[in-house]
């Protein structure tokens, strides 16, 4: 079924195809794929019960329009956003590219979104009968903002009481200088967030896979010092050092999908080993199978997310990943995924 829809969608320019997919999903097209999640996959992170450790990464449901429909597929959570205080058009088009031979995407969307007012209204409208799955809100600043820290604080104030967790996105490669928050501006940002928190809603910091090891250590230190609750590893990559088949490798923007799997796993493992068990990690980047998800969990992720493989593999992917996770748990003789978090190590040069 999806192969037919995919062959039609893949004839279209990727952003148009995405918008059509969102409309189809809104109209209930995913009901055909409705699936239950086995209770053995449940994980508790930051005091929140997630029915499955597999979530949809930020950027797919940017405006919080379709998370309820997406839950039908077996996702344990959906991270909505990135949302900015004011509506924003984003960068000029075309700004999304398929690298089909590499099972990858490049995007330079630049936080196109409806803004916080409409986002908050959408969450209220769609949050009815949500069930046990969880929602995250991924926050960013407007490109032309004169005070980006205030933009994040504004987002925190507006969504704290209506979502299960918040992500502070400091790693998009498509907003100029945003990644300064990963280095020189990090402490100022986290101090302000700590001082302005209005509820106990967990706050995760999402980082890029292009960070130097020393910067990762300072990020972990600051996350602990300023009482953030977790870290998401990782966003898309600006690097083009991967051996990619597609010519579109030259496009500017963030690379996602299969080629960034090893890179994001390296960062995840590095962070787990310095953070030990003090902060939970959401592992994201290149997951396209149960084995990929299980590997991230073994390297230290308590939850995983995916985006690009969903575009390539379609709606039945999540149920398959959930099933494969159960088989892998059975093979290892474990009853709970929490038993295997961080049990494997990557070797570093």
Ligand X SMILES: Cc1cc2nc3c(=O)[nH]c(=O)nc-3n(C[C@H](O)[C@H](O)[C@H](O)COP(=O)(O)O)c2cc1C
Residues that are catalytic: 172
Does residue 82 bind ligand X (CB under 6 A)? yes
Does residue 90 bind ligand X (CB under 6 A)? no
Candidates 57, 116, 166, 282: give the one binding ligand X (CB under 6 A).
Answer: 57
Does residue 141 bind ligand X (CB under 6 A)? no
Does residue 120 bind ligand X (CB under 6 A)? no
- Rounded Cα distance between 130 and 67, Å, is 9
Does residue 105 bind ligand X (CB under 6 A)? yes
Cβ proximity to ligand X, 15 vs 192, nearer residue: 15
Cβ 263 to ligand X shortest distance, Å: 10
- Count of residues in the chain: 349
Does residue 260 bind ligand X (CB under 6 A)? yes
Interface segment toward ligand X; rule CB under 6 A; list 53-61, 145-153, 187-195, 210-218: 53-61
Candidates 236, 265, 269, 322: give the one binding ligand X (CB under 6 A).
Answer: 236
Does residue 88 bind ligand X (CB under 6 A)? no
Does residue 75 bind ligand X (CB under 6 A)? no
Cβ 307 to ligand X shortest distance, Å: 3
Does residue 275 bind ligand X (CB under 6 A)? no
Interface segment toward ligand X; rule CB under 6 A; list 28-36, 45-53, 293-301, 303-311: 303-311
Candidates 84, 122, 133, 138: give the one binding ligand X (CB under 6 A).
Answer: 138
Does residue 208 bind ligand X (CB under 6 A)? no
Does residue 58 bind ligand X (CB under 6 A)? yes
Candidates 285, 290, 314, 342: give the one binding ligand X (CB under 6 A).
Answer: 285
Candidates 257, 280, 300, 314: give the one binding ligand X (CB under 6 A).
Answer: 257
3-state secondary structure the chain: CHHHHHHHHCCCCHHHHHHHHHHHHHCCHHHHHCCCCCHHHCEEECCEEECCCEEECCCCCCCCCCHHHHHHHCCCEEEEEEECCCCECCCCCCCEEEEHHHCEEEECCCCCECCHHHHHHHHHHHCCCCCCCEEEEEECCCCCCCCHHHHHHHHHHHHCCCCCEEEEECCCCCCCCHHHHHCCCHHHHHHHHHHHCCCCCCEEEEECCCCCHHHHHHHHHHHHHCCCCEEEECCCECCCCCCCCCHHHHCCCEEEEHHHHHHHHHHHHHHHHHHCCCCCEEEECCCCCHHHHHHHHHHCCCEEEECHHHHHHCCCHHHHHHHHHHHHHHHHCCCCHHHCCCCCCCCCC
Residue 223 near residue 200, CB atoms below 8 Å: no
Does residue 287 bind ligand X (CB under 6 A)? yes
What are the residues binding ligand X (CB under 6 A)?
57-59, 62, 82, 96, 105, 107, 109, 138, 169, 172, 206, 235-236, 256-257, 260, 284-287, 306-309
């Amino acid at each position: 079924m999806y192969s037919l829809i995919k062959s039609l969608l893949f004839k279209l320019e990727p952003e148009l195809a995405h918008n059509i997919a969102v409309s189809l999903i809104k109209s209930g097209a995913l009901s055909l794929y409705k699936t239950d999640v086995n209770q053995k996959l449940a994980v508790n992170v930051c005091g929140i019960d997630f029915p499955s450790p597999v979530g949809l990464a930020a950027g797919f449901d940017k405006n919080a329009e379709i998370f309820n429909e997406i839950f039908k597929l077996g996702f344990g959570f959906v991270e909505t956003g990135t949302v900015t205080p004011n509506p924003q058009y984003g960068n000029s088009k075309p700004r999304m590219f398929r690298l089909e031979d590499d099972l990858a995407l490049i995007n330079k969307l630049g936080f196109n979104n409806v803004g916080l007012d409409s986002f908050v209204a959408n969450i209220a409208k769609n949050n009815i009968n949500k069930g046990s799955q969880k929602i995250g809100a991924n926050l960013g600043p407007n490109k032309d903002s004169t005070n980006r820290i205030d933009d994040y604080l504004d987002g925190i104030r507006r969504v704290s009481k209506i979502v299960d967790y918040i992500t502070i996105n400091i790693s998009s490669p498509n907003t100029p200088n945003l990644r300064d928050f990963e280095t020189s501006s990090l402490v100022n940002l986290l101090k302000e967030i700590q001082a302005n928190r209005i509820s106990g809603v967990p706050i995760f910091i999402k980082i890029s896979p292009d960070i130097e090891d020393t910067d990762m250590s300072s990020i972990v230190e600051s996350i602990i010092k300023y009482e953030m609750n977790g870290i998401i590893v990782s966003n898309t990559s600006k690097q083009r050092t991967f051996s990619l088949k597609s010519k579109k490798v030259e496009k500017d923007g963030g690379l996602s999908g299969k080629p960034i799997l090893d890179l994001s796993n390296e960062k995840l493992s590095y962070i787990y080993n310095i953070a030990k068990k003090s902060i939970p990690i959401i592992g994201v980047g290149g997951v396209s199978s149960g084995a990929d998800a299980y590997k991230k969990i073994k390297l230290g992720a308590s939850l995983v997310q995916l985006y690009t493989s969903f575009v390539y593999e379609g709606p039945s992917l999540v149920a398959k990943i959930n099933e494969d996770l159960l088989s892998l748990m059975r093979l290892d003789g474990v009853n709970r995924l929490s038993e295997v978090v961080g049990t494997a190590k990557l070797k570093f040069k």
